[in-house]
Amino acid sequence: MFYWRSQAGVEIDLLIEKGLKLFPIEIKSGQTFQENWFRNLNLFKSYSKETSPLTIVYGGENFSFSNKNKLVNTFSLAELFD
C-alpha cells in the first residue's frame, strides 16, 4: 500500500498492489460526487497499463459506472478486496 506522485505533481492518494494489478484510489471528504474527482485517476491510468477500475472513496452512496469505475462509501472500502 502506497501513494503515487508524478513529476508534474499529479497525486493518487492510495495505490494497492494485488498480484500484477494496481488499484488506484482517490479519497474525498465530500458526500456529493464531482466529475473532476476522476482527473488524477485518469492521468495515472495514462501512465500505467495494468490498472483495475478507478475508485473514489467518499461519503456518499456506492455507485458503479458503465466503464467499471466506482464510487465507494467510506464504510464499503474493505469490500473492494474480498
Handedness of CA 33, 37, 39, 43 (dihedral sign): negative
Residues 6+ apart with CB under 8 A from 50: 20, 21, 22
Q: Which residues face 14 on adjacent strands?
A: 25
Residue range 30-78, pLDDT digits in tens = 999 999 999 999 999 888 876 788 999 999 999 999 888 999 999 888 8
Contact call for residues 54 and 24 (beta carbons, < 8 A): yes
| C-alpha cell recorded at residue 71 | 464510487
Q: Give me the pLDDT at residue 82, please.
A: 67
φ, ψ (nearest 5 deg) of residue 6: -85, 170
